[in-house]
Structure 1
Amino acid sequence: MEKGSTSRQFFVGVTVNLASVALGTCLCWTSPMGPVYTSNDTSINPLNVPPTTMEESWIGSLIALGALAALFILSWILLLTTKTVGQLLAARLIQGFGIGFVMTVQTMYIGEIASKEYRGALGSLMQLGIVFGGLYVYAIGPYVNYHALQWACLAIPITFTVIFLFMPETPTFFIIKGRQSDAIKSLQFLRGMSADGVQDEMTEMTKSVEESMKNKANLINLLKSKGNVKSLIICVGLITFQQLSGINVILFYSQTIFAKTGSSLTPAISTILVGSVSFLASGATPIIVDRLGRKPILLASAAGMCLAHGTMGLYFYTDYLKLDVVDSIGWLPIFSLIFFVTVYCVGFGSIPWVVLGEMFPANMKSIAASIVASSCWVLAFLVLQFFSTLEVAVGSHWLFWIFGIMCGVAFVFTLTTVMETKGMSLQQIQDRLNK
């Protein structure tokens, strides 16, 4: 049996995830730039008039509402030339379009180029790219001026565009178009094998595509299939709990947590610390996901996040009651925050996107991925937009406890509903879903 090489599919996987790095810079841009565009100092603020409190909220959350298509480069050009809050808002909305495009198309691309042995590792690179993009912004933003950061961020999508022009189209795409010889060449490049060496995988892939193409790709046909409905429930469920885990609130709250505990770390340094932990934790997922499987990691992640929210809420409850013990447990929220970020990045941050890339037949991937990505960003928008109101209504402690309850529900959902796909081909996954 021909052995082949794994290096090419990983090279292509890393290259496509430069788009994830660009995505991460967009998501985390407000952290270092927030103090700049809200400043009254005209020497550092590019805006003619600082935004109001309501406009600040929209600058942070509009990216989630817009996450449905693509135009990163245009957004950074708009931010480079902005003088008004309106243009800044337009740039953030366009970044949202780019994020939605990347998360939809990239999961499909990775799912179609990866072999079954490495599909989990390659799929989890998206989260690693996102947190690296965030760390990139955290590390540069506080130490350069406004325009220098925009140029630094603009360099990433330009680099991605140039390099990705030389990457192969997926074998699945060529099979759908009836270009069998091109599909074989693409598979040969990705596997580092001869035409004979990829023949078995090509045959199985062709069978899977031909089976899926019996139905047109539309919402009605998506919902007609028992297997597709089951996949949609699993993927939308995982993405829903990803957002209801409170990750965006935790990241937003990180500087406040460091400040409330009397930490001597500056906000910039504390944010870099959280970003570094996220990056290291996300780097573990590609190593373990194809060894341990998707489901065990998700279960451990949900349980860990639940515990972290419980202890975080406990600290803020003692602070709310003004108990003397608060000072002696000042380490607890910092430890809880770092622990939460670690278990989130290893599990629920990465794996829902891995699962999305492998659960649907070829002709339904685009519409299914669009539904799942849209669900993700609608929820992200709602959580970002209304968490401050909820915090005022119930208190910080109950805010964390509510997220902890959601993580507990995520554990039950994963245990009872999510299907393990480790080591299975795309056709085997479809066969099992449709039994």
Structure 2
Amino acid sequence: MLLNFSGLQKQVLVSLWLYIGQIAIGFYAAWTGTITPKLKDLEQSPLTYDLTETQLSLVATTAYLGALPGPYVTGWLSNTIGRKPCILGGAVLTVIGSCALSLATNLATIYCSRILLGFSGGILSVMTLVYIGEIASTNIRGILLIGIGICQTFGGILLFFVGPFLSYSGTTFVGFGLSVFFTIGAIFIPESPIFYLIKGNEKSLRDTLHDIGRSEDIDQLLSVKHEYTQTSSTKDWLQLFTIKSNRRAFLIAAVLNVLQNCSGAIVVMYFCASIFEMAGSSVDSNMSMIIIGCFQLVGSLSSSILVERVGRKIMLLISTLICSLSMFLLGVYFYVYSMDQSLLINFKWFSLVILIVYYIAFDFGFGVVPNVVVGEMFTPNVRSKGSTLTLTLSWFFGFFVSTGSGVLLETVDAYVTFWFFTCINASAFVFTIFFFIETKGKSLLEIQELLSK
């Protein structure tokens, strides 16, 4: 337990410590952005041979494959041994994976390390969403969940600040340091009160809720205690699809997260060096990503301020609309560039500017709101399973889109890829209009009532 802090202070402090793990996830998600050029240069690469474009693409995207099974392991364990042990286990695996990646001297080790980091990242992504969604008070839950996306963005920015100036090993060891620091802190976080509710441990439930400043929620949670103590893993999976509120929650969360992972944001991060090179940009690719990353923070911080004021739906609509227009215009730029480069001789800055606009819009809404949805829409007993299935579906589609896009960027005209992303973002805009429900200012139980209508 974190002593000398209580109430909302403890909720915020625990969340801040968990954010360190999200910074590490963001760092390794963007890792190939600065590492790919090093792997192409035998003087900087830990390998003694050149890699093909397909191999480089797999270095970037194998983390997706590792992420797929991770949440299913903790989906069962989180309701059996608790949320905290699952978070701590994911943290330890991150330390092991980052250390192995730092010391890698062959491609197989790089692949295996990326898969292990994906596995641990899958665990931590799901469990952090579940955990913060369960400990947070209604009035700050959205802000604390938005913080997950902000810190993942910050992790990417950190990479692009240090990556160009450090070696392969030096860059990767920065992520290792973050992982160690996070693991030490994870030892001291409290267990989720919802785990105690599921286990029927009323005393620990009362103590924990009082300790984190949610004494007013004790009676409300105890009133539904029977519903969550009479449960099993099989029953939980069935209730994910047989209870109307969970079905609607899964539809909304899964579609938004799949579209988010296929929207182009991750692809640009993975293959930024190739994209700016193809665009003939007059700005160095690493400097471009640092500039973009700083503007990403602007979008992310704006979302944290507005999420409990404007609401989730309005933020998503604005975000996905601007993302659609940005990807369309970037596709137009690459189309014209492929026809006649001389027409754009005075517009080599355009790709950077349009991506700045895209990432501000993405991190304002589309990049963070789907995380909020996962953390607050499912019933307590299926929250870990609903979150698991939602995120693994999104990673599954994201793996194929990211891998395919990396190949397409090298083999066909880039405008085709960006117009595909235009359609994805436009689809998210339409889906939000017709299917998304507003959860601003509502307790978790009120959200369930709204989803049941």
Task: Check whether TM > 0.5.
Answer: yes
Q: Any conservation in 2 of the 1:172–1:209 contact (CA below 8 Å)?
A: no
In the alignment, which residue of structure 1 is the partner of 2:295?
277
Partner Cα distance (1:415, 1:50) in 2: 48
Of 185, 203, 217, 1:201 maps to: 217
Q: CA deviation at 1:297?
A: 0.4
Of 140, 144, 157, 1:122 maps to: 144
Deviates more, 1:311-320 or 1:223-232: 311-320
Partner Cα distance (2:169, 2:346) in 1: 43
Q: Any conservation in 1 of the 2:24–2:179 contact (CA below 8 Å)?
A: yes
**Where do 5+ consecutive residues of structure 2 fail to align?**
1-5, 71-89
Partner Cα distance (1:394, 1:88) in 2: 28
Q: CA deviation at 1:209?
A: 4.7
Partner Cα distance (2:23, 2:99) in 1: 18
In the alignment, which residue of structure 1 is the partner of 2:8?
6
Structure 1 277/429 Cα, relative in aligned 2: closer, same or farther at 3 Å?
same
Partner Cα distance (1:259, 1:128) in 2: 28
Q: Given residue 432 of structure 2, which amino acid in structure 1 is its aligned partner?
A: T
Q: Any conservation in 1 of the 2:279–2:337 contact (CA below 8 Å)?
A: no
- For the pair 1:97 / 2:119, whether they are aligned, the reply is yes
Q: Given residue 121 of structure 2, which amino acid in structure 1 is its aligned partner?
A: I
- For the pair 1:230 / 2:248, whether they are aligned, the reply is yes
Partner Cα distance (1:104, 1:431) in 2: 24
Q: CA deviation at 1:72?
A: 0.9
In the alignment, which residue of structure 1 is the partner of 2:107?
85
Q: CA deviation at 1:216?
A: 3.4
Q: Any conservation in 2 of the 1:254–1:337 contact (CA below 8 Å)?
A: no
In the alignment, which residue of structure 2 is the partner of 1:288?
306
* Secondary structure in 2 matching 1:291: coil
Partner Cα distance (2:410, 2:272) in 1: 18
In the alignment, which residue of structure 2 is the partner of 1:332?
350
Of 134, 139, 156, 2:161 maps to: 139
Report Cα offsets for 1:90-142 as digits up to 9, x if no partner.
Answer: 10110110111111111000100111111110001111111111111111111
Query: Please, what is the CA RMSD of the aligned residues?
Result: 2.1
Structure 1 131/290 Cα, relative in aligned 2: closer, same or farther at 3 Å?
same
* Secondary structure in 1 matching 2:308: helix
- Number of paired residues? 424
Partner Cα distance (2:227, 2:352) in 1: 51
- For the pair 1:355 / 2:357, whether they are aligned, the reply is no
User: 1:134-213 maps to which residues of 2 (within 5 A)?
Assistant: 134-191=156-213, 198-213=214-229
- For the pair 1:18 / 2:14, whether they are aligned, the reply is no
* Secondary structure in 1 matching 2:195: helix
Report Cα offsets for 1:340-377 as digits up to 9, x if no partner.
Answer: 01111111111101110111111101111110111121
In the alignment, which residue of structure 2 is the partner of 1:57?
57
User: 1:280-319 maps to which residues of 2 (within 5 A)?
Assistant: 280-319=298-337
Q: CA deviation at 1:335?
A: 1.9
Q: Any conservation in 2 of the 1:302–1:411 contact (CA below 8 Å)?
A: yes
Of 396, 416, 421, 2:414 maps to: 396
Partner Cα distance (1:187, 1:102) in 2: 23
In the alignment, which residue of structure 2 is the partner of 1:195?
none
Q: CA deviation at 1:37?
A: 2.8
Of 338, 360, 377, 1:320 maps to: 338
Deviates more, 1:66-75 or 1:224-233: 66-75
Q: Percent identity?
A: 28
Deviates more, 1:200-209 or 1:133-142: 200-209
Q: Any conservation in 1 of the 2:288–2:352 contact (CA below 8 Å)?
A: no
Q: Any conservation in 1 of the 2:60–2:270 contact (CA below 8 Å)?
A: no
Q: Given residue 339 of structure 1, which amino acid in structure 2 is its aligned partner?
A: V
In the alignment, which residue of structure 1 is the partner of 2:391?
373
Q: TM-score, with normalisation over the residues of structure 1?
A: 0.92
Report Cα offsets for 1:320-351 as digits up to 9, x if no partner.
Answer: 33276423444432221101011111111111
Q: Any conservation in 1 of the 2:21–2:124 contact (CA below 8 Å)?
A: yes
Partner Cα distance (2:331, 2:356) in 1: 15
Q: CA deviation at 1:213?
A: 4.4
Structure 1 271/323 Cα, relative in aligned 2: closer, same or farther at 3 Å?
closer
Deviates more, 1:13-22 or 1:75-84: 75-84
Q: CA deviation at 1:379?
A: 1.4
Structure 1 428/213 Cα, relative in aligned 2: closer, same or farther at 3 Å?
farther
Partner Cα distance (1:283, 1:143) in 2: 27
Q: Any conservation in 2 of the 1:212–1:361 contact (CA below 8 Å)?
A: no
Q: TM-score, with normalisation over the residues of structure 2?
A: 0.88
Report Cα offsets for 1:365-403 as digits up to 9, x if no partner.
Answer: 111111011112111110111114445776322322221
Partner Cα distance (1:224, 1:127) in 2: 31
Structure 1 412/212 Cα, relative in aligned 2: closer, same or farther at 3 Å?
farther
Deviates more, 1:276-285 or 1:100-109: 276-285
Q: Any conservation in 1 of the 2:30–2:270 contact (CA below 8 Å)?
A: no
* Secondary structure in 1 matching 2:309: helix
Q: Any conservation in 2 of the 1:305–1:404 contact (CA below 8 Å)?
A: yes
Q: Given residue 353 of structure 1, which amino acid in structure 2 is its aligned partner?
A: N
* Secondary structure in 1 matching 2:232: coil
Q: Given residue 97 of structure 2, which amino acid in structure 1 is its aligned partner?
A: S
Deviates more, 1:302-311 or 1:381-390: 381-390
Report Cα offsets for 1:142-200 as digits up to 9, x if no partner.
Answer: 11222222322111111111112111111111222222222222222222xxxxxx443
Q: Any conservation in 2 of the 1:209–1:363 contact (CA below 8 Å)?
A: no
Report Cα offsets for 1:9-49 as digits up to 9, x if no partner.
Answer: 111111111110110111111122222233222xx332243
Q: CA deviation at 1:50?
A: 3.9
Partner Cα distance (1:131, 1:119) in 2: 19
Partner Cα distance (2:342, 2:270) in 1: 27
Q: Any conservation in 2 of the 1:20–1:129 contact (CA below 8 Å)?
A: yes
* Secondary structure in 2 matching 1:40: coil
Q: Given residue 16 of structure 2, which amino acid in structure 1 is its aligned partner?
A: V
Deviates more, 1:181-190 or 1:21-30: 181-190
In the alignment, which residue of structure 1 is the partner of 2:73?
none
Q: Any conservation in 2 of the 1:257–1:334 contact (CA below 8 Å)?
A: no
**Where do 5+ consecutive residues of structure 1 fail to align?**
192-197
Partner Cα distance (2:18, 2:132) in 1: 8
Q: Any conservation in 2 of the 1:274–1:338 contact (CA below 8 Å)?
A: yes
- For the pair 1:431 / 2:431, whether they are aligned, the reply is no
Partner Cα distance (2:358, 2:49) in 1: 38
